[in-house]
Amino acid sequence: MESDTKYKRLKDLSREEFILPGTTVCGGCGGLEALRLFHKVLGKNVVFVNAAGCFTLLALFPYSPFRGSWLYTNMASAPAGAQGVRDALDILIASGRLKPEDDMKVVVLAGDGSTYDMALSSTSGAIFRDLDFYYFCYDNEAYGNTGMQMSSASPYGSMTTTSKPAHLSTAGTRSHKKDIFEIWRAHKPPYIATISPRHPVDLSEKVSRSMQYKGPKLFIAFSPCPTGWMYDPSLTVKIARLAVDTGIWALKEAINGEVKHTYIPSKFKPVEEYLMTQGRFNHLFYPVRQDKILEDIREDINSYWEQYKK
């Protein structure tokens, strides 16, 4: 496998841009950063099927940042939309109206609210039907577009506008982040990966590797959100790095169901270093330090990594 590696260093990345500037998403958007890197690998022949969410703002009528096509769907149906587009392309090719070399990659763009909650059923259907498509989830761990309401991707201990820390609920969000990676893996698609904009070589290599598989290719992109997580936009990359270095965001892939971690920090940093960078975790430190909750978070990280120790 090593000899197949296409991306070894930053300078292997494409200098061509496929998402043009002028979009109305926030300055410092971690999701856009990940998508920009993702698109560089896929190249220009792409059709996006976009579930409602922050990335609705990418293509704001009559403007589009994409050089290719874009289709908008509601939050629950992007994978169903992708099925329709894929079928249409296949029919055009079969009937000779589209040359096979002009074929396009169908990519679902969806946030965590769509991915973890509303579109779970239509994603399940698309994977079950072995639809040949890419799924890009920009996971900013809440419903960012509507003002940071809790989603089932919101991590335990975080504050959202619908799970504010209070006297009886000092943690803020009391539920635990849904393990969408494992939910997808149970469907046995050929390729799943987690990616982070801070690790562009790892990201590019994974997208490149996935392209050899026919069927569902699913990606969850860690997407730091300055507006919703309450930090200065310049820190997006630092926060993405801390998420990996503290073990809270595992970089991994599953090829035909077999899980492999693509980067494991030699020594995990204390998770407080990550949590303290963001306003959404402020209540764990001020006015009183919530030792019990911090211990729970550490315990979650430890038990995650424990299962992969040989």
Report the Cα 213 to chain-centroid distance in Å: 20
CA–CA distance, 162 with 113 (Å, rounded to integer): 14
Q: Which residue, 170, 172, 167, is CA-closest to 141?
A: 172
For other proteins, the closer of residues 169 and 234 by Cβ is 234
Instruction: Give me the least distance between CB of 299 and other proteins, in Å please.
Output: 24
- Do residues 180 and 153 make contact, with C-beta atoms less than 8 angstroms apart? yes
- Contact residues toward other proteins (CB under 8 A) are 10-11, 13, 15, 17, 19-30, 32-33, 36-37, 56-68, 159, 164, 197, 200, 226-227, 230, 232-238, 279-280, 282-283, 285-287
For other proteins, the closer of residues 67 and 178 by Cβ is 67
Instruction: Give me the least distance between CB of 2 and other proteins, in Å please.
Output: 23
For other proteins, the closer of residues 71 and 301 by Cβ is 71
Read off the tokens for 129. Answer: 């039907």
The set of residues, in sequence order, having a beta carbon less than 8 Å from that of 257 and lying 6+ positions away, is 185, 188
For other proteins, the closer of residues 20 and 186 by Cβ is 20
Q: Which residue, 148, 139, 73, 65, is CA-closest to 106?
A: 73
Instruction: Give me the least distance between CB of 18 and other proteins, in Å please.
Output: 9
For other proteins, the closer of residues 24 and 74 by Cβ is 24
Instruction: Give me the least distance between CB of 12 and other proteins, in Å please.
Output: 10
Q: Is the peptide bond before 287 cis (omega within 30 degrees of 0)?
A: yes
Instruction: Give me the least distance between CB of 31 and other proteins, in Å please.
Output: 8
Alpha helices (H) along 129-211 = 180-185, 200-210
